[in-house]
Amino acid sequence: MNSSKNRVIAFLMVTALLFSLFARLGNAQPSAEALRKRLIAILNELVKIEGLGYNVTLEVKELNRALALIRKYERGGSPEYLVEAREILSKLESELPSLKVKAEEEKRFRDLMLALSILFIFVLVGAFTYLVFIGIWKIWYYIRRDWVVVPA
Amino acid sequence: MIIDDEVAAVLLAIAIVASVFAIAQILLSTRVVEPFSELGLLGPRAKIGDYPKEVLVGEKFKLYVYVGNHEGRTTYYKLLVKLGNASTFVNSSVPADAPVIKTLEVILVNNATWLYPLVLSINETGINYKLIIEMWVYDPEIDDFKYHGRWVHLWLNVTKP
C-alpha cells in the first residue's frame, strides 16, 4: 500500500518537474539569428499584404522596433532586448492572418468601386451623347435637303 | 428647376472629364514606372554641405544618412559604412573591398524616407581616407542582402591632435 503511494508521489513529482522544464523551455532565451529569420518571414508576408494595396506602415514600424532591439542585443546589449523583440514578432505573427483577410476584403471593395465608377462614366457618356448628339439626324436631313424623289 | 439641354450637356461633359481624371489617378497611383531608392549623405546639420574634411584621431564627428524608398514595395535596407583609401574602388556594380566600420539597418514602406544621425570616429591617422556608405537591400529570391548599386563617399584626412 505504502509503495504504491510512493509511486504515485514519485509520478506526480516527475510530472511536475517535466512541466516546469517545458515551461522554462517555452520561455527560453531566443537567439538573435532565429528572431532575424522570423522577422524576414513576417516582412515577406507584409510585402504580400502591401501588394494587395493595404497600408502596412504601422506593422513595419513595429518590425523596425523589433529589428532595433535585436541589433541592440547584437551590439552587446541585455538578453531582455531579445525577449522584447520576440514579443513584438509574436504579436505581428498573430496579426498576419487577420491582416491578410482585411487586405483582401479592402481590395475586393476597391475593385468593385472602380468597376462601378467606370460603369458610371459609361452612363454619363451615354447621357451626354443623347443630349448633344441627338440632333445628329438633323445634319443627315440637312445634307439631303435638296434630294428629289424620282418615281421609278 | 428645369435645366435646358445645353447646360445639362456642359455639366455632363465636366462630370465625365472629372470622373476620367479621378479614375486615371486611382489606376496610376499604384503603378511604379521606375522603381528606385535614394541614398544621401548630409553634413552635421542635416543639410548638404559643411562636410568634415579634417578630423582628429578618435574625435567623434557627425553626419546624416538619408534613405528614400521608391521601389513600389516595402524594402529592407542595410547600409554598410566602410573605410577605404584613395585606391579603394567602388562603383554601381562592385562594392568596395574595405573594412566595415558600422552597419545600419532599416525597413521602409514605399515612399518613406529615413534620416539617421551617424556618429563616427577614426582611430588611425592618414590622408585621403575614403568613407564609403553602400546600400544593400534584402532580396527574397536569394534570401540574403545584395548590393543595390548605390553608394556615397566622403574624403577625409585624419590628423593627430
Read off the CATH number of the domain in which B88 is found. Answer: 2.60.40.10
Average pLDDT value for residue range B53-57: 94
Which domain covers residue B118, as residue numbers?
36-159
Of A55-59, A72-76, A121-125, B61-65, give the lowest mean pLDDT range: A121-125
B26 and B100 assigned to the same domain: no
Measured on CA atoms in the order A57, A60, A66, A67, is the torsion positive or negative?
negative
| Residue B44 sits in the same domain as residue B115 | yes
Cβ of A131 and B8 within 8 Å? Answer: yes
| Interface touch B9/A40, C-beta < 8 Å | no
Residues 51-110 of B with CB under 8 A from A: 73-74, 76, 105-110
Residue A26 has pLDDT above 90, yes or no: no
Q: Write down the pTM of the prediction.
A: 0.78
Instruction: Give the pLDDT mean for B94-114.
Output: 96
**CA distance to partner chain B, nearest, from residue A47 (Å):** 6
Tell me: do B127 and B67 sit in the same domain: yes
Q: Is residue A80 part of a domain?
A: yes
Query: Chain B interface, mutation test: which of A36, A57, A128, A134, most B Cβ atoms within 10 Å?
Result: A128
The confidence score (pLDDT) of residue B11 equals 83
A115, closest residue in chain B (CA to CA): B23
Q: How far is B82 from chain A (nearest CA, A)?
A: 18
**CB neighbour list of residue A138: distance below 8 Å, 6 or more residues apart:** none
Mean of per-residue pLDDT scores for chain A: 87
Q: Which of A47, A57, A117 sits opposite B19 (nearest CB)?
A: A117
Q: What is the pLDDT of residue A70?
A: 97
Q: Tell whether B27 and B40 lie within a shared domain.
A: no
Q: Do B107 and A63 touch (CB under 8 A)?
A: yes
Residue span of the structural domain in which A100 resides: 29-143
A and B: number of Cβ contacts within 8 A? 62
pLDDT at position A145: 87
Number of structural domains chain A divides into: 1
Same domain, B81 and B141: yes
- Same domain flag for B44 and B27: no
Identify the pLDDT of residue A27: 55
**How confident is residue A28, by pLDDT bands cut at 50, 70 and 90?**
low
Asked if A56's CB is within 8 angstroms of B74's CB, the reply is yes
The answer on B15 and B91 residing in a single domain is no
Same domain, B1 and B46: no
pLDDT at B158 over 60: yes
Residues B146, B100, single domain; the answer is: yes
The residue among A58, A51, A42, A45 whose CA lies nearest residue B112 is A58
- The answer to whether B127 faces chain A, any CB pair under 8 Å, is no
> Which residues are CB-neighbours of B133 under 8 A, at least 6 positions away?
B39, B41, B65, B79, B80, B81, B82, B151, B152, B153
Please tell me whether residues B4 and B43 are part of one structural domain: no
Q: In which band, very low, low, confident or very high, does the pLDDT at A30 lie, cut at 50, 70 and 90?
A: confident
- Tens digits of per-residue pLDDT, A62-104? 999 999 999 999 999 899 999 999 999 999 999 999 999 999 9
Question: What pLDDT score was predicted for residue B135?
Answer: 98
- Does residue B20 sit at the A interface (CB-CB below 8 Å)? yes
Cell of B52: 568634415
Domain contains A18: no
The answer to whether the CB atoms of A60 and B109 lie below 8 A apart is: yes
Q: Is the pLDDT of residue A41 over 80?
A: yes
The pLDDT of residue A20: 60
Give how many domains chain B has, as a whole number. 2
